[in-house]
Amino acid sequence: MQARQQQMYTCVSATVSDMHTAGEPLRIIEKVTPDPLLLSQRTSLLALRRHLSDDCDWLRRFVVLEPRGHADMYAAYLIRPACHPQADVSVLFLHNDGYSTMCGHAVIALAKYGASRGLVEATPPRTTVNIECPCGLVRAVYHHGDEDNPDSSSFISVPAFLDATYNNFTVQLEDQSSKQFTELTLNFDLAYGGAYYVILPARQLGLDIQTDAVDSLIRICQQLKAAISSRVDVSRNELLCPDLAFIYGVILTDGRDGELESDNLCVFADGEVDRSPTGSGVTARVAAQAAKGQVRQDGVWRTFRNSKTGSVMLGRLAEEVDAASGTVRVEVSGRAFFTGSGVLTAETGDPMLPGFRVK
Protein backbone atom coordinates (compact mmCIF):
# COMPACT_ATOMS: atom_id res chain seq x y z
CA MET A 1 0.00 0.00 0.00
CA GLN A 2 2.77 2.45 0.89
CA ALA A 3 4.57 1.72 -2.39
CA ARG A 4 1.39 2.38 -4.38
CA GLN A 5 0.78 5.64 -2.51
CA GLN A 6 4.37 6.76 -3.03
CA GLN A 7 4.09 6.08 -6.77
CA MET A 8 0.93 8.16 -6.86
CA TYR A 9 2.65 11.03 -5.07
CA THR A 10 5.57 11.10 -7.48
CA CYS A 11 3.15 11.81 -10.33
CA VAL A 12 1.39 14.69 -8.62
CA SER A 13 1.30 18.28 -9.82
CA ALA A 14 -0.99 21.11 -8.79
CA THR A 15 -1.58 24.43 -10.53
CA VAL A 16 -2.19 27.12 -7.93
CA SER A 17 -2.74 30.84 -7.48
CA ASP A 18 -1.76 32.43 -4.19
CA MET A 19 -3.61 35.32 -2.56
CA HIS A 20 -4.01 36.87 0.84
CA THR A 21 -6.98 38.48 2.54
CA ALA A 22 -6.06 40.90 5.32
CA GLY A 23 -2.75 39.06 5.63
CA GLU A 24 -4.15 35.53 5.82
CA PRO A 25 -2.79 33.34 2.99
CA LEU A 26 -4.93 31.45 0.54
CA ARG A 27 -3.57 28.93 -1.94
CA ILE A 28 -6.19 28.35 -4.62
CA ILE A 29 -5.91 24.87 -6.15
CA GLU A 30 -7.01 25.17 -9.76
CA LYS A 31 -6.00 21.83 -11.24
CA VAL A 32 -4.54 18.62 -9.83
CA THR A 33 -2.94 15.73 -11.71
CA PRO A 34 -4.07 13.06 -11.04
CA ASP A 35 -7.55 14.33 -10.21
CA PRO A 36 -8.42 12.98 -6.73
CA LEU A 37 -12.14 13.42 -7.43
CA LEU A 38 -12.16 11.78 -10.87
CA LEU A 39 -13.81 8.56 -9.74
CA SER A 40 -15.83 9.99 -6.85
CA GLN A 41 -19.61 10.25 -6.83
CA ARG A 42 -20.48 13.96 -6.80
CA THR A 43 -23.67 13.53 -4.81
CA SER A 44 -22.90 16.52 -2.58
CA LEU A 45 -20.03 18.77 -1.56
CA LEU A 46 -20.03 17.26 1.92
CA ALA A 47 -19.66 13.81 0.36
CA LEU A 48 -16.65 15.06 -1.62
CA ARG A 49 -15.22 16.54 1.56
CA ARG A 50 -15.50 13.16 3.28
CA HIS A 51 -13.94 11.45 0.25
CA LEU A 52 -10.99 13.84 0.19
CA SER A 53 -10.45 13.47 3.94
CA ASP A 54 -10.79 9.69 4.06
CA ASP A 55 -9.20 8.61 0.77
CA CYS A 56 -7.18 11.46 -0.76
CA ASP A 57 -5.66 13.40 2.12
CA TRP A 58 -2.36 13.32 0.22
CA LEU A 59 -3.57 16.37 -1.72
CA ARG A 60 -3.99 18.49 1.40
CA ARG A 61 -0.60 17.42 2.72
CA PHE A 62 1.04 18.03 -0.65
CA VAL A 63 -0.32 21.56 -1.06
CA VAL A 64 -0.59 22.85 2.51
CA LEU A 65 2.27 21.31 4.48
CA GLU A 66 6.02 21.77 4.18
CA PRO A 67 8.10 21.90 2.05
CA ARG A 68 5.60 23.48 -0.37
CA GLY A 69 3.51 25.13 2.31
CA HIS A 70 3.83 25.79 6.03
CA ALA A 71 2.05 25.25 9.33
CA ASP A 72 -0.21 28.28 8.82
CA MET A 73 -0.99 27.76 5.13
CA TYR A 74 -4.62 27.65 4.04
CA ALA A 75 -5.96 26.36 0.73
CA ALA A 76 -9.14 26.33 -1.33
CA TYR A 77 -9.74 23.48 -3.78
CA LEU A 78 -11.98 24.63 -6.64
CA ILE A 79 -14.54 22.12 -7.93
CA ARG A 80 -16.20 22.67 -11.29
CA PRO A 81 -18.84 22.01 -12.34
CA ALA A 82 -20.27 22.99 -8.98
CA CYS A 83 -22.30 20.53 -6.97
CA HIS A 84 -24.98 23.13 -6.15
CA PRO A 85 -27.21 24.14 -9.09
CA GLN A 86 -27.05 27.84 -8.15
CA ALA A 87 -23.30 27.96 -7.54
CA ASP A 88 -20.64 29.18 -9.95
CA VAL A 89 -18.08 27.04 -8.15
CA SER A 90 -17.89 24.66 -5.22
CA VAL A 91 -14.92 24.84 -2.89
CA LEU A 92 -13.31 22.69 -0.22
CA PHE A 93 -11.18 24.36 2.44
CA LEU A 94 -7.89 22.75 3.54
CA HIS A 95 -5.75 23.62 6.56
CA ASN A 96 -2.91 22.15 8.62
CA ASP A 97 -5.09 19.55 10.31
CA GLY A 98 -7.89 18.77 7.89
CA TYR A 99 -10.91 20.38 6.28
CA SER A 100 -13.03 23.28 7.49
CA THR A 101 -16.67 24.01 6.77
CA MET A 102 -16.48 27.74 6.04
CA CYS A 103 -13.77 30.32 5.45
CA GLY A 104 -14.62 33.99 5.14
CA HIS A 105 -11.17 35.15 4.13
CA ALA A 106 -11.16 32.56 1.34
CA VAL A 107 -14.59 33.66 0.09
CA ILE A 108 -13.43 37.29 0.02
CA ALA A 109 -10.39 36.26 -2.04
CA LEU A 110 -12.41 33.97 -4.31
CA ALA A 111 -14.82 36.78 -5.16
CA LYS A 112 -11.91 38.78 -6.56
CA TYR A 113 -10.39 35.69 -8.15
CA GLY A 114 -13.68 34.77 -9.81
CA ALA A 115 -14.16 38.21 -11.32
CA SER A 116 -10.50 38.59 -12.33
CA ARG A 117 -9.70 35.13 -13.67
CA GLY A 118 -12.81 34.36 -15.70
CA LEU A 119 -14.58 32.10 -13.23
CA VAL A 120 -17.64 34.25 -13.93
CA GLU A 121 -18.31 37.08 -16.36
CA ALA A 122 -17.14 40.34 -14.82
CA THR A 123 -19.87 43.00 -14.58
CA PRO A 124 -18.26 46.16 -13.13
CA PRO A 125 -18.76 47.87 -10.80
CA ARG A 126 -20.07 44.75 -9.00
CA THR A 127 -19.56 41.13 -9.93
CA THR A 128 -21.47 38.44 -8.07
CA VAL A 129 -19.82 35.06 -7.48
CA ASN A 130 -21.98 32.32 -5.98
CA ILE A 131 -19.73 30.01 -3.99
CA GLU A 132 -20.85 26.70 -2.54
CA CYS A 133 -19.02 26.05 0.72
CA PRO A 134 -19.43 22.93 2.86
CA CYS A 135 -21.73 24.94 5.16
CA GLY A 136 -23.95 26.08 2.27
CA LEU A 137 -24.29 28.54 -0.60
CA VAL A 138 -22.56 31.88 -0.01
CA ARG A 139 -23.25 34.84 -2.26
CA ALA A 140 -20.13 36.96 -2.65
CA VAL A 141 -19.62 40.23 -4.49
CA TYR A 142 -16.45 41.73 -5.89
CA HIS A 143 -16.53 45.53 -5.88
CA HIS A 144 -14.16 46.48 -8.71
CA GLY A 145 -13.06 49.86 -7.44
CA ASP A 146 -11.81 52.84 -9.41
CA GLU A 147 -9.34 55.70 -9.12
CA ASP A 148 -11.14 57.04 -6.06
CA ASN A 149 -12.24 53.81 -4.37
CA PRO A 150 -10.10 50.72 -3.77
CA ASP A 151 -11.50 47.34 -4.70
CA SER A 152 -13.00 45.07 -2.05
CA SER A 153 -15.12 41.95 -1.65
CA SER A 154 -18.08 41.15 0.53
CA PHE A 155 -20.34 38.21 1.25
CA ILE A 156 -23.62 37.42 2.96
CA SER A 157 -23.19 34.55 5.38
CA VAL A 158 -25.15 31.36 5.74
CA PRO A 159 -27.59 31.48 8.68
CA ALA A 160 -25.53 32.15 11.80
CA PHE A 161 -26.48 32.03 15.45
CA LEU A 162 -25.45 32.13 19.08
CA ASP A 163 -25.62 28.50 20.13
CA ALA A 164 -25.24 29.16 23.86
CA THR A 165 -23.63 31.40 26.45
CA TYR A 166 -21.81 29.46 29.14
CA ASN A 167 -21.32 31.02 32.57
CA ASN A 168 -19.14 29.73 35.41
CA PHE A 169 -17.59 27.07 33.17
CA THR A 170 -14.53 25.62 34.92
CA VAL A 171 -11.45 24.45 33.04
CA GLN A 172 -7.99 23.36 34.08
CA LEU A 173 -5.14 24.77 32.03
CA GLU A 174 -1.51 23.73 32.29
CA ASP A 175 1.28 26.25 32.73
CA GLN A 176 4.00 25.33 30.26
CA SER A 177 6.94 26.36 32.44
CA SER A 178 5.82 25.01 35.81
CA LYS A 179 3.72 22.11 34.47
CA GLN A 180 1.18 23.00 37.14
CA PHE A 181 -2.55 23.15 36.44
CA THR A 182 -4.65 26.20 37.21
CA GLU A 183 -8.42 26.07 37.48
CA LEU A 184 -10.24 28.95 35.83
CA THR A 185 -13.92 29.86 35.81
CA LEU A 186 -14.91 31.30 32.45
CA ASN A 187 -17.86 32.92 30.72
CA PHE A 188 -17.92 32.48 26.95
CA ASP A 189 -20.12 32.38 23.88
CA LEU A 190 -20.38 29.41 21.55
CA ALA A 191 -21.45 30.80 18.19
CA TYR A 192 -21.78 29.52 14.64
CA GLY A 193 -20.81 31.52 11.56
CA GLY A 194 -20.43 28.65 9.10
CA ALA A 195 -18.08 27.09 11.64
CA TYR A 196 -18.28 26.88 15.43
CA TYR A 197 -16.22 29.23 17.59
CA VAL A 198 -15.63 29.70 21.30
CA ILE A 199 -15.56 33.47 21.87
CA LEU A 200 -14.36 35.17 25.04
CA PRO A 201 -12.34 38.18 26.24
CA ALA A 202 -8.65 37.35 26.57
CA ARG A 203 -8.49 38.98 30.00
CA GLN A 204 -10.50 36.09 31.48
CA LEU A 205 -7.47 33.93 30.77
CA GLY A 206 -5.02 36.53 32.03
CA LEU A 207 -3.89 37.19 28.46
CA ASP A 208 -3.31 40.26 26.32
CA ILE A 209 -3.91 39.67 22.61
CA GLN A 210 -1.80 42.69 21.67
CA THR A 211 1.34 42.05 23.71
CA ASP A 212 1.47 38.37 24.68
CA ALA A 213 3.58 36.03 22.54
CA VAL A 214 1.67 34.13 19.88
CA ASP A 215 3.05 30.80 21.12
CA SER A 216 1.47 31.41 24.53
CA LEU A 217 -1.87 32.32 22.98
CA ILE A 218 -1.81 29.21 20.80
CA ARG A 219 -1.05 26.92 23.71
CA ILE A 220 -3.86 28.29 25.88
CA CYS A 221 -6.39 28.29 23.04
CA GLN A 222 -5.58 24.70 22.13
CA GLN A 223 -6.07 23.57 25.71
CA LEU A 224 -9.28 25.54 25.97
CA LYS A 225 -10.72 24.14 22.74
CA ALA A 226 -9.92 20.59 23.83
CA ALA A 227 -11.46 21.09 27.28
CA ILE A 228 -14.67 22.61 25.94
CA SER A 229 -15.00 20.15 23.05
CA SER A 230 -14.78 17.23 25.48
CA ARG A 231 -17.72 18.54 27.52
CA VAL A 232 -19.94 20.42 25.06
CA ASP A 233 -21.76 18.43 22.39
CA VAL A 234 -22.52 20.78 19.50
CA SER A 235 -24.08 17.92 17.52
CA ARG A 236 -27.19 18.37 19.66
CA ASN A 237 -28.12 21.40 17.54
CA GLU A 238 -30.79 20.32 15.09
CA LEU A 239 -30.00 23.22 12.74
CA LEU A 240 -26.82 21.51 11.53
CA CYS A 241 -25.85 18.19 10.00
CA PRO A 242 -23.15 16.10 11.77
CA ASP A 243 -20.45 17.14 9.27
CA LEU A 244 -20.66 20.72 10.56
CA ALA A 245 -20.95 19.96 14.26
CA PHE A 246 -17.51 20.51 15.77
CA ILE A 247 -15.69 23.38 17.45
CA TYR A 248 -13.30 24.81 14.89
CA GLY A 249 -11.53 27.59 16.74
CA VAL A 250 -11.19 29.92 19.70
CA ILE A 251 -11.52 33.68 19.27
CA LEU A 252 -9.92 35.83 21.94
CA THR A 253 -11.31 39.37 21.99
CA ASP A 254 -10.54 42.69 23.62
CA GLY A 255 -13.97 42.55 25.29
CA ARG A 256 -15.47 45.41 23.28
CA ASP A 257 -18.46 43.45 22.00
CA GLY A 258 -21.01 45.58 20.18
CA GLU A 259 -18.72 48.59 19.86
CA LEU A 260 -17.85 50.11 16.51
CA GLU A 261 -14.27 48.80 16.70
CA SER A 262 -12.95 45.63 18.29
CA ASP A 263 -9.75 43.58 18.17
CA ASN A 264 -9.55 39.79 18.20
CA LEU A 265 -7.27 36.86 17.42
CA CYS A 266 -8.42 33.45 16.23
CA VAL A 267 -6.60 30.16 16.77
CA PHE A 268 -8.13 27.34 14.73
CA ALA A 269 -7.43 23.83 13.47
CA ASP A 270 -4.21 22.50 15.07
CA GLY A 271 -2.85 25.74 16.48
CA GLU A 272 -3.14 27.69 13.24
CA VAL A 273 -3.20 31.46 13.81
CA ASP A 274 -5.34 33.58 11.53
CA ARG A 275 -3.53 36.67 10.27
CA SER A 276 -6.86 38.26 9.38
CA PRO A 277 -9.75 39.07 11.73
CA THR A 278 -11.35 35.77 10.54
CA GLY A 279 -14.32 36.14 8.20
CA SER A 280 -16.47 33.34 9.62
CA GLY A 281 -15.36 34.47 13.07
CA VAL A 282 -16.65 37.98 12.37
CA THR A 283 -19.91 36.33 11.30
CA ALA A 284 -20.08 34.37 14.56
CA ARG A 285 -19.24 37.44 16.66
CA VAL A 286 -21.93 39.58 15.03
CA ALA A 287 -24.48 36.76 15.40
CA ALA A 288 -23.67 36.48 19.10
CA GLN A 289 -23.84 40.24 19.55
CA ALA A 290 -27.20 40.35 17.76
CA ALA A 291 -28.60 37.68 20.07
CA LYS A 292 -27.55 39.78 23.05
CA GLY A 293 -29.02 42.98 21.66
CA GLN A 294 -25.59 44.57 21.22
CA VAL A 295 -26.02 45.20 17.48
CA ARG A 296 -29.05 45.98 15.33
CA GLN A 297 -29.91 45.75 11.66
CA ASP A 298 -29.04 49.41 11.18
CA GLY A 299 -26.67 49.24 8.21
CA VAL A 300 -23.71 50.32 10.34
CA TRP A 301 -20.41 48.62 9.57
CA ARG A 302 -18.34 47.57 12.55
CA THR A 303 -14.57 47.24 12.33
CA PHE A 304 -12.90 44.00 13.40
CA ARG A 305 -9.12 44.16 13.66
CA ASN A 306 -6.54 41.41 14.02
CA SER A 307 -4.64 42.15 17.22
CA LYS A 308 -1.26 41.09 15.80
CA THR A 309 -1.25 42.24 12.18
CA GLY A 310 -3.62 45.18 12.50
CA SER A 311 -5.52 44.03 9.41
CA VAL A 312 -9.21 44.84 9.17
CA MET A 313 -12.53 43.34 8.12
CA LEU A 314 -15.93 44.97 8.39
CA GLY A 315 -19.09 43.27 9.57
CA ARG A 316 -22.74 44.17 10.01
CA LEU A 317 -26.05 42.48 10.69
CA ALA A 318 -27.70 41.94 7.30
CA GLU A 319 -30.88 40.03 8.05
CA GLU A 320 -32.82 38.36 10.82
CA VAL A 321 -33.64 34.96 9.34
CA ASP A 322 -35.74 33.29 12.01
CA ALA A 323 -36.75 34.78 15.34
CA ALA A 324 -37.53 31.41 16.92
CA SER A 325 -34.06 29.96 16.33
CA GLY A 326 -32.25 33.29 16.53
CA THR A 327 -30.56 32.78 13.18
CA VAL A 328 -29.28 35.80 11.28
CA ARG A 329 -27.25 36.56 8.19
CA VAL A 330 -24.15 38.71 8.49
CA GLU A 331 -22.42 40.74 5.80
CA VAL A 332 -18.62 40.72 5.92
CA SER A 333 -16.29 42.88 3.83
CA GLY A 334 -12.54 42.85 3.26
CA ARG A 335 -9.77 43.22 0.70
CA ALA A 336 -7.77 40.50 -1.03
CA PHE A 337 -4.60 40.60 -3.12
CA PHE A 338 -2.83 38.26 -5.52
CA THR A 339 0.64 37.22 -4.36
CA GLY A 340 1.75 34.64 -6.93
CA SER A 341 1.00 31.65 -9.10
CA GLY A 342 2.73 28.49 -10.17
CA VAL A 343 2.81 24.73 -10.38
CA LEU A 344 3.63 22.56 -7.38
CA THR A 345 5.46 19.39 -8.38
CA ALA A 346 6.81 16.20 -6.88
CA GLU A 347 10.19 14.96 -8.00
CA THR A 348 10.63 11.20 -8.16
CA GLY A 349 12.42 9.89 -5.10
CA ASP A 350 11.69 12.89 -2.87
CA PRO A 351 11.74 11.41 0.67
CA MET A 352 9.70 14.30 2.09
CA LEU A 353 6.51 13.40 0.28
CA PRO A 354 3.68 13.90 0.79
CA GLY A 355 4.46 16.71 3.26
CA PHE A 356 5.32 17.21 6.90
CA ARG A 357 4.97 19.49 9.90
CA VAL A 358 7.56 20.44 12.50
CA LYS A 359 6.18 20.90 16.00
Q: Where residue 34 sits, what CATH number does that domain have?
A: 3.10.310.10
What backbone torsions phi and psi does residue 72 show, to the nearest 5 degrees?
A: -110, 15
**Residue 230 in domain:** yes
* pLDDT score of 138 more than 90: yes
- The boundaries of the domain holding residue 84 are 2-151+338-345
Spatial CB neighbours of 335, under 8 Å, sequence gap ≥ 6: 21, 22, 108, 150, 151, 152, 153
Same domain, yes or no, for 247 and 288? yes
State the pLDDT at residue 221: 98
The 3-state DSSP composition of the chain as helix, strand, coil percent (nearest 5) reads 20, 40, 40
Active site residues: 103
* pLDDT score of 11 more than 70: no
State the pLDDT at residue 91: 99
For residues 56 and 75, give the distance between their C-alpha atoms in angstroms, rounded to a whole number: 15
| Residue 181 burial by Cβ neighbours in a 10 Å radius (0-12, 13-18, 19+) | exposed
CB distance 350 to 15 below 8 Å: no
Q: Apex CA 103: angle with CA 199 and CA 8, to 5°?
A: 125
* pLDDT score of 133 more than 70: yes
Q: How far is CA 6 from CA 62, 69, 121, in A?
A: 12, 19, 40
State the pLDDT at residue 120: 98
Same domain, yes or no, for 313 and 273? yes
* Arithmetic mean of pLDDT, 209-225: 98
Task: Report the interhelical angle of 104-116 vs 279-291 (nearest 10°).
Answer: 130
pLDDT in tens, 156-173: 999 999 999 999 999 999
Task: Report the interhelical angle of 2-10 vs 57-64 (nearest 10°).
Answer: 50
State the pLDDT at residue 348: 83
Spatial CB neighbours of 315, under 8 Å, sequence gap ≥ 6: 282, 283, 285, 286, 301, 302, 304, 330, 331, 332, 333
At 29, the amino acid letter reads I
State the pLDDT at residue 250: 99
State the pLDDT at residue 177: 75
* Arithmetic mean of pLDDT, 212-219: 97
**Residue 350 in domain:** no
CB distance 200 to 253 below 8 Å: yes
State the pLDDT at residue 43: 82
Same domain, yes or no, for 284 and 214? yes
State the pLDDT at residue 316: 98
Same domain, yes or no, for 102 and 210? no
**Residue 359 in domain:** no
Spatial CB neighbours of 193, under 8 Å, sequence gap ≥ 6: 102, 104, 157, 160, 280, 281, 282, 283, 284, 285, 286, 287, 330
* pLDDT score of 35 more than 80: yes
Q: How far is CA 209 from CA 148, 154, 221, 312, in A?
A: 34, 26, 12, 15
Same domain, yes or no, for 16 and 84? yes
For residues 358 and 87, give the distance between their C-alpha atoms in angstroms, rounded to a whole number: 38
pLDDT in tens, 272-302: 999 999 999 999 999 999 999 999 999 999 9
Same domain, yes or no, for 112 and 243? no
Same domain, yes or no, for 261 and 207? yes
Same domain, yes or no, for 23 and 144? yes
Structural domains in the chain (count)? 2
For residues 96 and 355, give the distance between their C-alpha atoms in angstroms, rounded to a whole number: 11
**Residue 156 in domain:** no
**Residue 351 in domain:** no
State the pLDDT at residue 7: 40
**Residue 17 in domain:** yes
Same domain, yes or no, for 101 and 133? yes
CB distance 271 to 222 below 8 Å: yes
pLDDT in tens, 64-85: 999 999 999 999 999 999 999 9
**Residue 74 in domain:** yes
Same domain, yes or no, for 296 and 180? yes
**Residue 224 in domain:** yes
Same domain, yes or no, for 286 and 321? yes
Strand segments (E) across 2-105: 13-21, 24-33, 75-79, 89-95, 98-100
Same domain, yes or no, for 142 and 195? no
